[in-house]
Structure 1
Amino acid sequence: MLDKFDLTILDELQRDGRLTNAELAQRVGLSAAPCWRRVRALEEAGYIRGYHADIDRQKIGLGVLAFVRLDADRNSGDVTRELEEAIRKIPEVISCHYISGAGTFELQVVAQDLDAFSRLARTVLINLPNVKDLHTSFSLGEVKESRALPLAHLKAAT
């Protein structure tokens, strides 16, 4: 069971994963050694999966963000697993989710420009195993982007 110290650690590390243990301990209200032990325990329990750099996709030349609904021809066992595995291998696909309603998967795809996206869609995505159709929407601007998860529901329970 997570306590208030664990939740504060998670909250602070979501905001800044580069905090030193001393800085984190001060923010959490613990001394350095217990704070370090708690961070390690959260990592080992799978609450903290890793630490990542947040890279600005536009600064590295990936100006197009597309949302691609992929319709599979059949949604069964081996065929679906083969499609999943093929999707995982495409570096331009930065996120993939099973979805309800129309379609099977929703992909987030990045590309340098519309021509690059078009080539990827026509040569790779439409030719994935068991793909029946693609439906694409393009981001016209980002209103909010965050990987930080809300923790208020956990704080209320403690």
Structure 2
Amino acid sequence: MQHTHSNYLLAADIDDTDKRLLRLLQTDARMSITELAERVNLSATPCARRVKRLEDRGIITGYHTQTDVQKLGYPLAVFIAISMDRHTADRFEQFERKVKSFDEVISCSIVTGRTEDYLIKVRVRDMAHYEEFLLHRLNRIEGVAQVHTSFELREVFSRSMV
């Protein structure tokens, strides 16, 4: 979504009840409208209208299942800072398209304030899986000039902003 001045003004239209609804849905997206309404002191119909309005405005962009990566066999989180050889739109688009196709990549951001251009977060089974990912896939993307790896010791917390 392209950010414009009007996109930022949307936040001014969110009241405390909307924020409570968003927090509740982030905690349990399967919560019924009836339960949501009770928790925010509304009746079901106005509550459903608020949720629909948040969806229509693109504030609620979807409902997701959270998984336990440890139990799924992907306990190792890796942050990889990537420098590109050229700073052209084509090079960046090609990199982004390719890295998006890798299931191990759970986030990818263009960053500033560093010598690297991208910061990606990857989930892998173990060091052998990471080595295969790095040497046989990531480093083979045309334009990747340098990578710097940091391993996550422990995630302290992760949340969406409300």
TM-score by length of 2: 0.88
Question: Partner letter of residue 152 of structure 2?
Answer: S
Alignment of 1:57 with 2:69, yes or no, is: yes
1:3 deviates by 2.1
Equivalent residue, structure 1, for 2:8: none
CA–CA distance in structure 2, aligned partners of residues 57 and 11 of structure 1 = 23
Alignment of 1:71 with 2:83, yes or no, is: yes
Q: Which runs of 5+ in 2 are unaligned?
A: 1-12
Q: Is the 8 A contact 1:98 1:105 kept in 2?
A: yes
1:18 deviates by 1.6
CA–CA distance in structure 2, aligned partners of residues 147 and 8 of structure 1 = 15
Identity of aligned residues (%): 36
1:143 deviates by 2.1
CA offsets 1:14-65 (integer angstroms, 9 cap, x no match): 2221211000001111100110111011011110011111101111000211
Q: Which runs of 5+ in 1 are unaligned?
A: 152-158
Alignment of 1:134 with 2:134, yes or no, is: no
Q: Is the 8 A contact 1:98 1:106 kept in 2?
A: yes
1:95 deviates by 0.4
CA–CA distance in structure 1, aligned partners of residues 87 and 102 of structure 2 = 20
1:147 deviates by 2.5
Choose the corresponding residue for 1:33, options 45, 57, 61.
Answer: 45
Alignment RMSD, CA only?
1.1
Once the two structures are superposed, the pairs formed by residues 48-127 of structure 1 within 5 Å of their partners are: 48-100=60-112, 101-127=114-140
